[in-house]
Amino acid sequence: MANKTITVEVKDLKKYFMLPTKKYLKAVDGVSFNIYKGETLGLVGESGCGKTTCGKTILGLYDATAGEVNFDGFSVHKKSKKERKDFTKRAQIIFQDPYSSLNPRMTVGDIIAEGIDIHGIHNGKDRKDKLFELISMVGLNKEHISRFPHEFSGGQRQRIGIARALAVEPEFIVCDEPISALDVSIQAQVVNLLIDLQKKKNLTYLFIAHDLSMVKYISDRVGVMYLGNLVEITSSHQLYRDPKHPYTKALLSSIPIPDPKIERNKKIIPLEGEVSSPINPIAGCKFASRCSLAKDMCRNQVPTLKEVDNQHFVACHFIDRI
Amino acid sequence: MAKERILEVENLTVAFKTYGGSVQAVRGTDFYLDKGETLAIVGESGCGKTVTAKAIMGLLPIDNTTIGNENSKIMFNGRNLIKLTEGELADLRGKEISMIFQDPMTSLNPTMRIGEQIAESVLIHNQISKEKAKEIAIKMLKLVQIPNPEERYKQYPFEFSGGMRQRVMIAIALACDPKILIADEPTTALDVTIQAQIMKLINELKKDLDTGVILVTHDLGVVAGAADRIIVMYAGKIVESGRTEDIFYNLKHPYTYALLQSVPKLTKDTSKKLYSLQGTPPDLIDPPKGCGFAPRCDFAMKICSIKTPEKTTFAEGHEAYCWLHHEKANTQGVPELILTRGESSGK
Amino acid sequence: MVTTDTVTSNEIYEDELFEKVGIKKELSEHMGRPALTYWAEVWRRFRKNKLAITGLIMLCIVTLLTIIGPTLSGHDYQYMDSSIRSQTPSASHWFGTDRMGRDIFTRVSVGGRISLIIGLLCTLVMFTIGSILGAIAGLKGGWVDDLIMRICEFVGNLPYLIIVVILSMVMGRGLFSLVFALSFISWVGTTRMVRGQILQIKEQDFVKAAAALGADSKRIIIKHLFPNTLGIIMVTITMAVPGFILGEAFLSYIGLGIRPPETSWGALAAAGQERLMFYPHELFFPSLMLVITILSFHLIGDGLSDALDPKLKD
């Protein structure tokens, strides 16, 4: 792991949204991590934890409130217009909602070729050939090119979204909950497609999801977010074998397991208490209000990520005790 | 153990008229529900599971929809629900049969106090005073484990989180002590930690109140924890049904196999490639001939796309519709699990 | 429990039927429905709406009449024949004649041209100003948005009729000044609507996807925002035309409209109203045309908005 090239470097990234009440919603509140070339970093957490905002800010779809994102050594947020356009060829995104992410007035062919048209990569017959290549790569065929998105199922639409992202031949793709809206059987189909494409094209993924079992399957490393902060990050194997942070433990215990004997006898660690608000978060650890181990210290002092094991980082004051 | 049978569905069909032709959403399903048991209907979207549930509730749009034929029956309390008028169905809904939906955000009236919404559903079906209804509403809030029910009674939906709202929906559904609770993807819109709490609540309430639950979902993890029996649906038909143990440990249909295999297991090593179903469920505007699953089935034979497979019974209540169980079937490459005959090893 | 094998039928199947075929790739992604473009779909639904089609046919007939009416009747709309003053409808004068002895059918046809042209021109001005300002406000946001919205509030609060009357008095009577007066403050609603639509669509993932692919604002507007607002804009336009036609009729009615010898339905109705007691047909026919036209536009607009609403899809 040590001598891997860093593709994306996120340094103390913050993204606040101003609300109509002039207060700030701290969606991402100081997050740092690296994504290495050719790996898949999973980012998990419950809705509202800022994982999607984090992914979109990394791509420059949102301006950063503070902190830095470096892609291949260059700052994403300090690029000129031209540089930013070139950057879009190298870094792409796949969206969560297969329904709102495809323009209902465009044909599937035009949707997939959008990146090709914007950057003028292929023209005429070239474009057509590339389109056929892309559409068959995601398991659809020629007859689908002239159709409109509303005729497709969720899984098919998600594959169209993947083809669109791949059209510009990027190196890095943010997969923003690409399977959350899909049926279980179709999830496997999309995830397998993503893995195959990664192998074939040496892609780097940031895989955002709330489904931990799928994340474990696809990711090399996994980061767990809670209310805008990264609370734990390590290899996916390590995270599931030996979760350290109390939140990660609760999260893992809640995953339903498709095996009646195990599912009916497993112990769920319940999460009590109110979720603290991302608008007025408490001074200390944001998980303190729901944590059974919380002490006064947790409510006053923000814990930082500490390496507790080889490449296993946890942000908790009482890491030694758990 | 003799159980009271509270719902019996026979040869249920549902078709929607559209410009392109008639969509055969449900193509003849038979099943039953006993008192106090949880029956899960599992399948991909578009397989007809939600439509089946809505047909029982009488919630399908009246225009352009054909429910059932002369042989179809949805027997409940000695009455055939298909034959009932809209008014008679409205009397049943919420009182005898209740439903909770996927989206707790849009199922509540945003301008009405939480407690009043529960009380209202009690008042519609019962001739009681408002004070009594309020009492019941607070009791229900307590039952679904909402803290400070007296205060919460006066609050509005926006003051409740997603999980809390789903609890309120459950409270409304159970307020009149129905015989059947239909839960249509009740946790799909919720986070895993909340999902675990809601499923636990549904399971506990089912035991306490002895309600029959029909759980419609595509999440096999949820099913594993909650269901007593399972129906697997594909392309508007039942492909396999049986006790939970039968379906998870002794499955007999390649579609059930595919469904189970495509879920990654936390406990298993992940270096192996995840099994995945290719393609998309068929468009039911012209349903495939023979077995609906044949075009996506690894083990499909010629006959599968010509003739509808017949029922094979493996154990009491464990049935599958698949040609692989015919004596002449070509079973080359088919997993042993699907082929073996015998009692489920689950119990 | 003993396992029982119950393949119930006694039918004997050929061995070769059990030959293995596996997955059928092309069938597993097969699409049963015919492919339809969005607008073909809208047209299909619109066509099924009998009222809307009636409106469309009526509007076509009225429009056709304004074009070929004078040729049909064979009369000149300005030709005065004092021998046939104020006649009731007859074989040679289908709608009768007015007090100057002019053929009313011909005058109604010609007057319709002005009415329709004013209706369409005003709508065009309203739509152009409204959508440009609305799009700028929605896309730019910030102080630009604030400024445009404040202007909208100011203009929107001016009393419409008084402004129109003052403007047409100041600017004189003519086609241009009429259009100017009528559309001067009418764009406010369009601006608000377009802004709202843009704000809504801008947040959709497909716009974000285009931005992530490096699309500039021009492409986003042309390819994504415009096609997706077109439907609702069309409904607004259809619903706006009758308002302007009525506005022109009102101005003509109070004597601020089109200057004679040109005429419009409003001017004709005004002239007819004076003699309503004795020659009701002079008021009846221009009013009838006005009513038919306005009704048609409303029917078409309603049909269109139903046809565009995906929720009503069958």
Residue B56: its H or E element? helix B49-57
Percent of chain C at pLDDT > 70 equals: 90
Quote the pLDDT of residue B332.
80
Residue B262 to chain A, least CA–CA distance (Å): 6
Instruction: Measure CA C191 to chain center.
Output: 17
Domains and CATH numbers, chain C: 40-71+97-308 (1.10.3720.10)
Condensed to tens digits (0 to 9), the pLDDT of residues C273-306 reads 777 777 778 788 888 888 999 999 999 998 888 8
Quote the pLDDT of residue C6.
44
Determine the residue of chain B that is closest to A259 in CA distance. Answer: B224
Quote the pLDDT of residue C28.
64
Range scoring the smallest mean pLDDT among A196-210, A261-275, B210-224, C231-245: A261-275
Range scoring the smallest mean pLDDT among B277-281, C3-7, C20-24: C3-7
Flag whether residue C44 sits within 8 Å of chain B, measured between CB atoms: yes
B268 band by pLDDT with thresholds 50, 70 and 90: low
SS3 of A23, please?
coil
Percent of chain B at pLDDT > 70 equals: 95
Give the start-to-end residue ranges of the domains of chain A: 6-314
DSSP code at position C103: B
Quote the pLDDT of residue A93.
94
Neighbours of A100 (CB within 10 A): 17
- For A151-168, what is the mean pLDDT? 90
- For A119-147, what is the mean pLDDT? 89
Quote the pLDDT of residue B343.
52
Which segments of chain B belong to CATH 3.40.50.300?
A: 5-227
Quote the pLDDT of residue C26.
62
Residue A102 to chain C, least CA–CA distance (Å): 5
- For B234-263, what is the mean pLDDT? 91
Listed in order, strand segments (DSSP E) in chain B are: 5-18, 21-34, 38-42, 65-67, 73-76, 79-80, 97-100, 180-184, 212-217, 229-234, 237-243, 311-315, 318-321
Residue B120 to chain A, least CA–CA distance (Å): 28
Quote the pLDDT of residue B344.
46
Can you name the CATH fold of A6-314?
A: Rossmann fold (3.40.50)
Neighbours of A292 (CB within 10 A): 11
Chains contacting B (3+ CB pairs below 8 angstroms)? A, C
Predicted ipTM?
0.85
Contact C28 B323 (CB under 8 A): no
- Specify whether domain B5-227 bears CATH 3.40.50.300: yes
Contact C4 B285 (CB under 8 A): no
Quote the pLDDT of residue C311.
52
Condensed to tens digits (0 to 9), the pLDDT of residues C26-52 reads 666 666 666 677 788 888 888 888 899
The mean of the pLDDT values for chain B is: 86
Range scoring the smallest mean pLDDT among A161-170, A308-317, B322-331, C165-174: C165-174
Indicate the burial class of C33 (C-beta count within 10 angstroms; 0-12, 13-18, 19 or more).
Answer: middle
Closest C-alpha to A190, from A157, A212, A168: A157
Quote the pLDDT of residue C96.
75
Contact C16 B302 (CB under 8 A): yes
Percent of chain A at pLDDT > 90 equals: 41
Looking at the partner chain, which of A153, A188, A257 has a beta carbon nearest the beta carbon of B224?
A257
C11 band by pLDDT with thresholds 50, 70 and 90: low
Q: Which residues of A touch C224 (CB under 8 A)?
A: 103
- For C106-121, what is the mean pLDDT? 86
Condensed to tens digits (0 to 9), the pLDDT of residues B33-82 reads 999 899 999 988 888 888 999 899 888 887 788 888 888 889 998 889 88
Condensed to tens digits (0 to 9), the pLDDT of residues A276-294 reads 777 777 788 888 888 888 8
Looking at the partner chain, which of C3, C21, C314 has a beta carbon nearest the beta carbon of B300?
C21
